[in-house]
Chains A and B, each alone.
Chain A
């Protein structure tokens, strides 16, 4: 976990890049794309469970951010600002999208085998572990897609991406109390779908 001073210098670096990008330095904006695209990809992908939709949406998100850059006043961090743009566009997209018959999922990194959760649910010891990992991925995505878009958003941001409640509250423009109650409800729903993995 980065220290406060590391976070502060990262924020300063972002501010400098934004300032240069607002003055027309496109290389500075490209640096922001490189820095934030992995995080934003994760948010969009976990919301849509579809990599092609994720790619298209992510392009649109950065295009919108680029066009709107002069409206960014610096009252929040650039990360919060662009994340809010990304979340709103993703939620709007999901409202319009019909439920897909098939997902298009990213592959699972081999590092998953060493995760504590895999040990807990006994998958690491299973000789058929690759097919079980695929089965687990399928079940996880089913469980996530069964949530409403708003509940999936808070689970994505808090549980998967580790964003604090206060930050999620600024991004979604709802109170922290609302964030906590959505998380509680979402966890109840997920327990129902994933009970076979809970010991």
Chain B
């Protein structure tokens, strides 16, 4: 190793003197124990589904959002295509729709039957 390299190593080793404040590692252990206790606590049943749902979104990466967006879009397309259409002549027939009342069929009243003359005794 060249003298310059040795010198550089000595200088870099000075970084060993950069240390955290006194008591740091005691606090670190306490913080770690607290976190471990929280992580190992079982979930409350009421939190279950809601908690998992929100946790999924919190932890969701871009991929999950893209997938969810894609599924929603596909569902929308299906709904649009399957939606029941309006009156059939509305879109295809360019003629205006004109309301015409149906002709009324007149049924003549039945003729009364002629009465038989009264019998003569």
Contacts and interface: CB of A to CB of B under 8 A. Distances in A.
Contacts of A121: 11
A135 B79 CA distance: 68
Most buried by A among B4, B9, B17: B17
Interface residues of A, number: 45
Interface of A: 26, 30, 33-34, 37-38, 41-42, 45-46, 51, 55, 58-59, 62-63, 66, 105-109, 111-112, 115-118, 120-121, 136-137, 140, 144, 155, 159-161, 187, 190-191, 194, 197-199
Nearest to A136: B14
Interface residues of B, number: 26
Contacts of B33: 30
Nearest to A63: B35
Interface of B: 4-5, 7-21, 25, 28-29, 31-33, 35-36, 39
Given A63-B35, A106-B18, A37 B25 contact: yes
A199 B3 CA distance: 9
A34 to B, nearest CB: 6
Contacts, number: 97
Contacts of B35: 59, 63
Contacts of A106: 18-21
Interface SS, A side:
helix
A106 B21 CA distance: 8
Contacts of A120: 7, 10
Given A34-B25, A116-B10, A194-B11, A160 B39 contact: no
B14 A117 contact: yes
B20 to A, nearest CB: 5
Contacts of A160: 12-13, 15-16
A108 B17 contact: yes
Contacts of A144: 12, 15
